[in-house]
Amino acid sequence: MAKAKTKGGVTTAPLNKRIWKNRELYILVLPVVIYFILFHYKPMFGLAIAFESNFNPRRGVMASGFVGFQHFITFFTGPFFLSRMWNTLRISLSMLVFGFPSPIIFALLLNELRGKIFTRTVQTVTYMPHFISMVVLCSMVREFTNSGGFINQIAMVFGYDGLSMLNKGNLFLPIYVLSGIWQSIGWDSIVYLAALTGIDMQLYEAAKIDGAGRWKQTLHVTLPGILPTIITMFIMRCGQIMSVGYEKIILLYNESIYEQSDVISTYVYRIGLVQRQYSYSTAVGLFNSVINFILVILANAISRRLTQTSLW
Amino acid sequence: MKKSLAVLLALVMVLGTLAGCSGDNNSSTADQSSAAQESSTANEDSTAEEESAAEESGSTAEGLLDPIENTDGTLQVPRSSYVTYPIEGADGVTLDYWLPAATNIANGAGETQDTAWAAAWQEKTGVTINFTTSVLGSDDESFGLMTTSNELPDIVEWEWTTTYVGGPSQAMADGMLTYLDDYITADGYAADLWQFLQDNPHLDKQVKTDDGHYYCFPFVRGTKYLQCTSGPVVRTDLFEAAGVDVNSLETVQDWHDALVAVKGVEGVEYPLICKNWGNLVSLMDSPFEFRANMYVDYETGEVEYGYIQEGYKDFVATLQQWLEEGLIDPDLLSNETTDQTQAMLNGTSALCYAAGGGDLGAYLSAVNADPDAYVEGISFQAINFAVMNEGDTPHYGGTSWDYACTSKASAVITSECEVPEIAAQVLNYSYSKDGHIVMNYGADAVVDADGTAHYSDATMDYAANGFSSLATSMANAGRANMSGAFAQDPQYIFEYYTEDVQKDALYTWNDNQDSQTSLIPPVTLTSEESAAYTAAYSNVNTYVESSYGQWFALASNVEDDWDNYVTTLESMGVNDMVAAYQAALDRYNAR
């Protein structure tokens, strides 16, 4: 917003005058800029510790010996690189494939509803899980899927053996994805609902006159109408592929499903914060971020070529 | 003349204390109730005498107590009062004190800062102490964050011999701690700790670095009844219903047959339950002759890594068999404390690994509080650790070293402390004669004529003072039922364990085993050893955890996987870890 306004302002005036003219907007954006400098740019200098033998907080960032890419090599050649990488991709791609379309479909369905009160009720109910703290949400999931939990009981009707579901490696992924959808579907659909209100009603009328039914209207009017929003959300989502939320996994996993649930970020957490091998875990974390960065650029380039919509 | 008389009186009193401690614990606890009533004016008189003796001796070498001959390693409790309290020149001094959060405090008084012992400590020493604790249950993470912050506290309680990379010497180089050699001397600021260590030469050996430096104010757990406070506990009534005499259970085969029998009793689902994997290993490792992670082989005295032993394979194979027979709770790996408590009280399980205070005590008080809520005749008792063959002695059960080095509880003075001599005197208080009693039992402790201390009636009557349990009330009064930089008083546990069932559990678990020697003693790793250890540790640990997870879930058979498992562990450098500890152990043994 701030950017658009300054562009639309008097471009010939000197910079300081332009800033003064739009001072309210600059003040509005200032906290965000400070936030990014403090929490996203300043810590980058700390990345130096990924190339040191082992960072020691008491002696400062530059005090330990330089070892180059040794920590990266240790990780790539180590026994857990492939399995943790695969788990990370598996879990986040599943979230992308199943988690990304679900709020869009949900928004489209809501859009078709005509009863105002019913629509509002449904919306409010589906928002709610978003406001539950992750810790509480995960203990609910554990409680439900434990032997004797209500999801477990229902599954037993269909022939499930009744043991705790979180002790079975092959069930971790469905539990993770479904609980993720349950928590975020309402909240994530807001942006699409907002985009839906922006579609010109005349287009629908024109489509109706041309003989399009509900399904054809959705396909040819609604979806193209919110496509820019979908693309933008998708590119941003691609940047998160490698950053699976470690909090949720740590709260859900146990030793018997490490093979299926341990991802790079939980690995970094255990090595860095619990075992205090700061340099090694920073190296692993940096690798993770670099992959993320590449994925965003790729997704953006592909989208620009295919749909002319892109972040930059 | 007057001085020597005072010293003599003090000595007589101390000997009296010792007689009370070293005697048979069975009889001394039985005597406690009558002895408590005798505490009277005689006691006050002798305390006064002792104080005058201390004043005259001051902190000079001439006034030292006579040495005690102590070669068999029995614990001599603190008996000196060399350092004068309140501390001179401590006005306006504030010390920042970081320590791991204690469950007993979290469940009761809430914050360490608000406990009665924290207040008493500050009042007696005249120093303001600002306590900060870790997040309960996330000690490692909190410690990691604390060390990375820009300012260190003045005093930190932690364990320094194993998980701190590089051990005490590296911590010294990092500025996490300063050596205490100047303070722990006959006329230093920690003279009372010095006297305590002189009286207990076996402890003196344990609390130093390899090159002879003092580095901490140690957490001391000096007698056997303090060292093994967890073990197997059964629902006696359920086993009786199955026709099993729990006192006859000895071998693993006995356990198996008993579990099969008790599974037939109505209501029992999975006879054996534990809170987590670690407890399951502690419960069953002795017959298979290994320990989790690093340990010392009982027969050879060499360091071994438990999760690679043949015994561990047999252990897992046994577990897999029992799991297939439905004898073990299959949800065990994701269990929490409450799962075990509920299963034992509801009778869905009949055998568990329980702590005498926190678990067994909780079961007993739950039943006492509302007997109608439970099955009639519900009863618990502790049984012996299992062995492989009849007549064996368990060598790998619970227990700890006298210097409880694996507890995150030994205090150091950091390099950023501006008044280390005052910090030393504050910490020294717990090892002085009076401080020992105050820090264990509280400022209102009752002291008998023979010097034995007890909790006050107010502490014992926890409900009247708004505490939910005896454990939380005691944790408010003193530190005895928690860990920290003090010497745990040998008698406290017999007051903490109010029920006879609990006291019997202590005797059962401790009298019939000999397993301290299979624990790694308080060795100190060098920086190189420590680096080699940690480099391998994270991979080895992750692999071991996911492997036993697979086996426990019966996803694969341990017999089929074993060769591959051992090869993988070796390729991850498990032998380097063993070598690092072996070198450290050799240096320790040579001290």
How high is the pLDDT of residue A101? Answer: 93
Work out how many CB contacts closer than 8 A connect A with B: 94
- Chain A residues with CB under 8 Å of B548 CB are 255
**Separation of first and last alpha carbons in chain A:** 15
What values do phi and psi take at B195, rounded to 5?
A: -60, -40
Q: How far is B436 from chain A (nearest CA, A)?
A: 34
Note whether A256 contacts B537, CB cutoff 8 Å: no
B23 in contact with chain A, both atoms CB, cutoff 8 A: no
DSSP 8-state assignment for residue B208: B
Q: Pull the structure tokens for residue B504.
A: 């019997």
Q: Does residue B572 sit at the A interface (CB-CB below 8 Å)?
A: yes
Cβ distance of A168 and B553 shorter than 8 Å:
yes
ipTM of the complex in this document? 0.71
Is A282 within 8 Å of A46 (Cβ atoms)? yes
| Interface contact flag, B553 A59, Cβ < 8 Å | no
pLDDT at position A11: 57
Please report which helix (H) or strand (E) contains residue B181, including its range: none
User: Which residues have a Cβ under 8 Å from the Cβ of A132 and sit 6 or more positions away?
Assistant: A140, A183
The answer, for B431 touching chain A at a CB cutoff of 8 Å, is no
Instruction: Give the number of domains in chain B.
Output: 2
A143 occurs within a structural domain: yes
Residues of chain B in contact with residue A279, where contact means CB-CB under 8 angstroms, are none
Tell me, what's the pLDDT at B35?
39
Q: Which is it for strands B294-296 and B272-273: parallel, antiparallel or unpaired?
A: unpaired
Number of neighbours of residue B389 by Cβ within 10 angstroms: 10
**What residues of chain B score a pLDDT lower than 50?**
1-2, 5, 8-61
When pLDDT is averaged across residues A79-96 and rounded to a whole number, the result is 87
Query: Do B91 and B216 fall within a single domain?
Result: yes
* CA distances, B436 to each of A193, A207, B85, B453, B561 (Å): 68, 88, 13, 10, 53
CA distance B283 to A209: 78
* CATH number for the domain harbouring residue A259: 1.10.3720.10
Residues B208 and B348: beta-carbon distance below 8 Å = no
Asked whether residue A49 is assigned to any structural domain, the reply reads: no
Residue A122 within a domain: yes
Answer whether B576's CB lies under 8 Å from B532's CB: yes
Q: What is the pLDDT of residue B420?
A: 93
Answer yes or no: is B16 within a domain. Answer: no
Q: Pick from B429, B469, B517: which is nearest to B86 by CA? A: B429
User: Do residues B353 and B266 both lie within one domain?
Assistant: yes
On whether residue A5 sits in a domain, the answer given is no
- What distance in Å separates residue A143's CA from the closest CA in chain B? 11
Distance in angstroms between the alpha carbons of the first and the last residue of chain B: 41
> What are the pLDDT digits (tens) for B57-104?
444 445 788 888 777 778 888 999 999 989 988 888 999 999 999 888
Closest Cβ opposite residue B538 in set A166, A257, A275: A275
**Is residue A71, in this structure, part of any structural domain at all?**
no
Chain B closest-CA separation from residue A165 CA (Å): 9
Q: Is there a contact between B452 and B20 (Cβ–Cβ < 8 Å)? A: yes
Give whole-number Cα distances, A78 to A83, A262, B292, in Å: 10, 15, 24
The verdict on residue B277 lying in a domain is yes
Contact at 8 Å (CB) between A221 and A142? Answer: no
Q: What's chain A's average pLDDT?
A: 84
Domain boundary among B490, B508, B525: B490
- Kindly state whether residue B260 falls inside one of the protein's structural domains: yes
Q: Which of A169, A254, A278 shows the shortest C-beta gap to B334?
A: A254
A65 part of a folded domain: no
What is the DSSP code string of A245-298? -HHHHHHH--GGGHHHH--HHHHHHIIIIIT--HHHHHHHHHHHHHHHHHHHHH
Q: Which of B471, B490, B509 is where one domain is finished?
A: B490
- Inspect the interface and report whether the beta carbons of B555 and A255 lie closer than 8 Å: no
Least confidently predicted of A63-72, A94-103, A180-189, B278-287: A63-72
Q: Residue B575 sits in a domain of what CATH number?
A: 3.40.190.10
Q: Is B109:B475 a contact under the CB 8 Å cutoff?
A: yes
Asked if the structure places residue B47 within a domain, the reply is no
- Residue A137, min C-alpha distance to chain B (Å): 16
The answer to the question of residue B278 being in a domain is: yes
Q: What is the dihedral of CA B464, B469, B470, B474, to 10 degrees?
A: -90
Average pLDDT rounded to a whole number, residues A30-56: 86
Indicate yes or no: CB of A80 within 8 angstroms of CB of B553.
Answer: no
Choosing among B145, B177, B538, which should be mutated to test the A contact, i.e. which has the most A CBs within 10 A?
B538
Residues of B in contact with A163 (CB under 8 A): 330-331
B553 with A166: Cβ contact below 8 A: no
Burial degree of A42 (CB within 10 A; 0-12, 13-18, 19+): exposed
Which one of A255, A274, A277 has the shortest CB-CB distance to B141?
A274
CA-closest candidate to residue A297, choices A214, A246, A236: A236
Q: Residue type for A123, please?
A: Q
The answer to whether B289 touches B395, Cβ cutoff 8 Å, is yes
Q: Are residues B388 and B438 in the same domain?
A: no
Compare CB distances from A273 to B144, B330, B548 and report the shortest one's residue. Answer: B144
Across the interface, do B333 and A254 touch by the CB < 8 Å criterion? yes
Q: Are residues B217 and B237 in the same domain?
A: no
Nearest CB to A163 within list B330, B531, B555: B330
Higher pLDDT, A18 or B258: B258
Per the structure, the complete domain to which residue A203 belongs is given by: 79-307
Question: How distant is the Cα of B186 from the closest Cα of chain A, in angstroms?
Answer: 32
Mutation site for A-interface testing, chosen from B546, B550, B561 by largest number of A Cβ within 10 Å: B546
Distance between CA B532 and CA B572 in Å, rounded?
A: 11
B298 contacts chain A (CB < 8 A): no
pLDDT for A3 equals 46
Say what the pTM is: 0.78
Query: What is the C-alpha separation between A108 and B381, in angstroms, rounded?
Result: 63
Residue B197: predicted pLDDT:
93
DSSP-derived secondary structure letter, B87: P
Give residue B6's pLDDT.
52
Indicate if B211 and B327 belong to the same structural domain: no
Q: Does B147 touch chain A (CB under 8 A)?
A: yes
Beta strands B351-355; B230-235: pairing state: antiparallel
Two tokens at A34? Answer: 């400070």
SS3 string, B295-312, reads: EECCCCCCEEEHHHCHHH
Residue A227, domain member (yes or no): yes
Mean pLDDT in residue range A48-77: 80
Q: Do B546 and A259 touch (CB under 8 A)?
A: yes
Which of B152, B174, B545 shows the shortest C-beta gap to A255?
A: B545
User: Which residue out of A252, A276, A277, A278 would a mutagenesis test of the B interface target, given it has the greatest number of B Cβ atoms within 10 Å?
Assistant: A276
Identify the residue with better confidence: A182 or A273: A182
Q: Among residues 509-568 of chain B, which lie with CB inside 8 Å of chain A?
A: 531, 534, 537-539, 542-543, 545-546, 548-550, 552-553, 555, 568
Contact A145, A135 (CB under 8 A): no
Our CA dihedral for B177, B525, B281, B101, rounded to 10 degrees, sits at 10
Q: What angle do CA B354, B357, B361 make, to 5 degrees?
A: 85
Residues 6+ apart with CB under 8 A from B259: B271, B272, B322, B327, B350, B351
In eight-state DSSP terms, residue B397 is S
Q: Hey, how many other C-beta atoms are within 10 angstroms of the C-beta on B257?
A: 13
B482-520 residue pLDDT tens: 999 999 999 999 999 989 999 999 999 988 888 888 888
Tell me how close the Cα of A221 comes to any Cα of chain B, in angstroms. Answer: 50
Residues B266 and B124 in one domain: no
Residues B252 and B149 in one domain: no
Torsion on CA atoms A11, A16, A17, A19, rounded to nearest 10: 80
Cα separation, B38 vs B450, whole angstroms: 10
Question: How many Å apart are CA B492 and CA B484, to the nearest integer?
Answer: 15
Nearest CB partner across the interface for A58, out of B144, B175, B334: B175
Closest CA to B387 of B273, B513, B296: B513
Confidence of residue A276 (pLDDT cuts 50, 70, 90): confident
If one counts the domains in chain A, the total is 1
- Specify if B350 maps to a domain: yes
Are B165 and B83 contained in the same domain?
yes
Separation of alpha carbons B262 and B327, rounded Å: 9
Task: Tell me, yes or no, whether B303 and B384 share the same domain.
Answer: yes
Helix runs in B372-496, H state only: 420-428, 433-441, 457-460, 470-477, 492-496
Residue A27 lies in a domain: no
Q: Which of A111-125, A148-162, A292-306, B320-334 has the highest mean pLDDT?
A: B320-334
The pLDDT value recorded for residue A214 is 85
Instruction: State how far the alpha carbon of B166 is from the alpha carbons of A56, A211, B55, B174, in Å.
Output: 11, 78, 42, 10
Q: What pLDDT score was predicted for residue B49?
A: 42
Q: Chain A residues with CB inside 8 Å of B550's CB?
A: 256, 259
Distance from CA of B182 to the nearest CA of A (A): 24
- Domain of residue B485: give its range: 61-221+402-490
- The rounded distance, in Å, linking the Cα atoms of B408 and B427 is 16
